[in-house]
Amino acid sequence: MAEMKRIIIIYILLFAATGKAGAQSGYYSVEPAPFSSDQYDEYAPVLYQKGVVFCSNRNDDLFIKYLNKESEENFSIYYINTDDTVNRESSKVFSKNLITPYNDGPVTFNPGKQTIYYSRNRNIKTKKRDVFNPGNTLGIFSARKQKGRWADIRNFPYNSEDYHNTTPFYDTLNQRLYFASTMPGGYGGCDLYYSERKDSTWSEPVNLGPRVNTEGSEMYPFIGSEGKLYFSSDGHGGLGGKDVYFTKKQNGEWIGPIHLKPPINSEDDDFALITDHGFQSGYFSSNRKGSDDIYRFKKNRPQFYGCDSLQENHYCYQFWDEGYHKIDTLPTRYEWKFSDGTSATGQEVRHCFPGAGKYRVKLNIVDPVADTVYYTQKDFEFEIRDAVQPYIRSGDACVKMNEVEFDGLKTNLPDLNIEHYYWNFGDGTLSEGPKTSHVYKKEGTYKVILGVTGTNDSTGLKEKHCVWKEVKVYENIQALPNDQASKKTSVKNQRTDDRIDLK
């Protein structure tokens, strides 16, 4: 099977095979899904209820099905409950109402899982001699669940006998249907498009443009966390065959696609990826072992134990001079000069520096009448250093269902070349990256952990470090100011500024 059996000629969704063995790296673990078989092809997994919906050309014995030109079964839609004991024999036909003698799938669902959008050959009533009729193109159809059965099958309005529409994905947030198409006006074989659902109609398809689409083929769109669009392409110069990429919109434009590292991508065809929030685990399809199979991947996230509580960095100081005695009865004024460009007056002053660094402080004794310096009482340098630790910059309190920003870029581990940032938000949700965000759904106090891993520049050894802090989540905005006000009073009464006495 070569990529999609040359969709322009045969019109069926098959990827295929010259097999290199799968691999594992320290960052991801990849293994064949237990419901995938060596005898048949399986591809395009989609999460549904307690399991996975996928496409396969295994024999379902429900219809006399036409063979493709390679004398293989065409594809049907299957389901397996992954909560049960999973093996290849426990999968079953997803819906008898959606089976045709031709190619069925891939599929996608609306948010409530009550509407299915799926690809299939448009003409399912053609005579056997017309199986390979070029006019029997792939189209997108929908069906609704009614009394436990999929019914009310409808035609996507932009299906055509002149081109293919296939590999649909329903974007819940934006009410869009993403899909691949060979319609005229594109950049190559298959391009990615989207159509918006407006009332009961679909808008004219929009091409995603040359940043995403190439002279090759782009297919299998999937919108993941943070609006990332994952897709498969053979036109962006990957490892070989089709590879998986992701892109996202910035300032209204798609950024240049980013290639996923092995072992998800390989020298063979890798496609149809789906993932959970944070890209912690998921499924994808590949022919790296000689046939189309579904693989599951899991990020090898390190475990962090014995984390220290976050030490707040102090940049505010009390400056005090006990060593000066007035010159007879001459009027004097204390004038403090700070190298950050600010100044203050008084025998005791409080000053907050902008951050860690080396600073110069000068204390002048000034004649307030002539506004001249009697002499310089003190002129010295000192250094403010951040605590050596990972650092969590975020609010201490928030309201549930509101987004909270977390930033680890002020981490101070001088000898560590940081490679990864790992977040645990304390509610069972994980994330990665130097910056991230999270929405808490319930009030309470949560222990947020930031772990970092990297290589020590001096020893060349791998290291990991972690800290934690508490974030308090409130039911509503009315509860937040009262607590914050009391917290400010407490801080004022128990100020912990460092005190520098000049003697």
Level-2 CATH architecture, domain 397-496? Sandwich (2.60)
Q: Write the DSSP assignment of 471-484 as a string of letters.
A: EEEESSTTHHHHHH
CATH topology of domain 308-386: Immunoglobulin-like (2.60.40)
Dihedral (Cα; 233, 239, 240, 241), 10-degree rounding? -30
The residues of the chain that CATH labels 2.60.40.10 are 308-386, 397-496
Question: In the prediction, which pLDDT does 361 show?
Answer: 94
Amino acid letter, 426: G
Question: In the prediction, which pLDDT does 83 show?
Answer: 79
Contact, 219 vs 232, CB < 8 A? yes
Give residues with Cβ within 8 angstroms of 305, minimum separation 6.
none
Q: Write the DSSP assignment of 9-62 as a string of letters.
A: HH---------------SSEEEEE-TT--SSS-EEEEEEETTEEEEEE-S--SS
Instruction: Judge whether residue 18 has pLDDT over 70.
Output: no
Bridge partners for 472 per DSSP: 397, 445
> pLDDT tens digit string along 319-345?
988 766 655 567 888 999 999 999 999
Give residues with Cβ within 8 angstroms of 51, minimum separation 6.
79, 80, 81, 82, 83
In CATH, what class is 39-234+249-260?
mainly beta
> pLDDT tens digit string along 425-469?
999 888 889 999 999 999 999 999 999 999 999 899 999 999 999
Question: In the prediction, which pLDDT does 64 show?
Answer: 47
Which two tokens mark 98?
């959606």
What is the overall mean pLDDT for the chain?
Answer: 85
Three-class SS state of 111: coil
Quote the CA–CA distance of 455 and 113 in Å, as a whole number.
45
Instruction: Judge whether residue 295 has pLDDT over 80.
Output: yes
Instruction: Judge whether residue 493 has pLDDT over 70.
Output: no
**Residue 500: exposed, middle, or buried by beta-carbon count in 10 A (0-12, 13-18, 19+)?**
middle
Instruction: Judge whether residue 15 has pLDDT over 70.
Output: no
Contact, 166 vs 14, CB < 8 A? no
Instruction: Judge whether residue 102 has pLDDT over 80.
Output: yes
Higher pLDDT, 488 or 163: 163
Which two tokens mark 321?
């001079």
The residues of the chain that CATH labels 2.120.10 are 39-234+249-260
Quote the CA–CA distance of 199 and 178 in Å, as a whole number.
17
Contact, 443 vs 473, CB < 8 A? yes
> pLDDT tens digit string along 374-424?
888 889 898 999 999 999 999 999 999 999 999 999 999 999 999 999 999
Question: In the prediction, which pLDDT does 127 show?
Answer: 58
